[in-house]
Amino acid sequence: MERREIAGLLAYIGRLDPRTMRTDTAELRDQIAQWHELLGDVPLSTEHGWDARETVRAHILDSPYPILPVDVARKWRAYQRDRLARHTDPTPAADPDNVTAWRAELLGTRHAVAHGQQAPVEQRAITAGPGPDIEAYLEATGSPIPPVVRAQLAPFRPTRAAREAAVMAGRPDPLSVRCEWCHAPIGEPCRSRRTGPDGTARGNARRTVPHPSRVDLAAARTRQGAAA
């Protein structure tokens, strides 16, 4: 506040609380100088919720004591603290390689927020549960993994990819039943049992393609389910 604004504020205070009114010119000059000393860097009002007259009025309503300039200064500091606490320092638009400009913008924004020239940038609070758009997305794709990424992952998880492909194509999922041929349990891929020349088992490799009898069994189960 400039001296002129301080004088205006003191006149306003004098109307609400005549005890603070100074009629003597020299006394008034001293009073203005004293208030200016403490409130020189405090604005009279900002576009973002600060008004020194509001602070004065609230003090006069709440307190039996005459208002002092320090009461206004303290309120201003609390206002600044509150705003900076809510400000989340958004990433500056300046080129991050230009450290001077980047820093200047960050500090400039912070200063503008603290001095009530700009509203604090508050991040949206994270709400409970996924938003409606995510739910719609899951409904449409059936998976939080985007279809493009799933396709790229397919070579690395052939069994899973085969199941998904079957379901997408409307075919029965063979892994939904136990394999009567190799005894692979539900959800597990079929295993190839290779037999050596002497008749002993030599391997137990996973098969990408289920045994045909398992596919048939799954299809039969699906038909039964549909008929039931």
* Distant-in-sequence, close-in-space partners of 218: CB < 8 Å, separation ≥ 6: 172, 173, 174, 175, 176, 177
The smaller minimum CB distance to Zn ion, of residues 74 and 202, is found at: 202
Task: Compare residues 98 and 192 and give the one whose CB is closer to Zn ion.
Answer: 192
Chain residues that interact with Zn ion, rule: CB under 5 A? 179, 181-182, 184, 190, 211
Nearer to Zn ion, 52 or 190 (CB): 190
Torsion of CA 58, 62, 68, 70, to 10 degrees: -70
Sort 150 into a burial class: Cβ within 10 Å, 0-12 / 13-18 / 19+: middle
* Cα 6 to Cα 9: distance, rounded to the nearest angstrom: 5
Name the minimum Å distance from CB 220 to Zn ion: 15
CB of 153 to Zn ion, least distance (A): 24
Minimum gap (Å) between residue 158 Cβ and Zn ion: 15
Within 10 A of 53 (CB to CB), how many other CB atoms are there?
15
- CB of residue 175 to Zn ion, shortest distance in Å: 10
Cβ proximity to Zn ion, 52 vs 182, nearer residue: 182
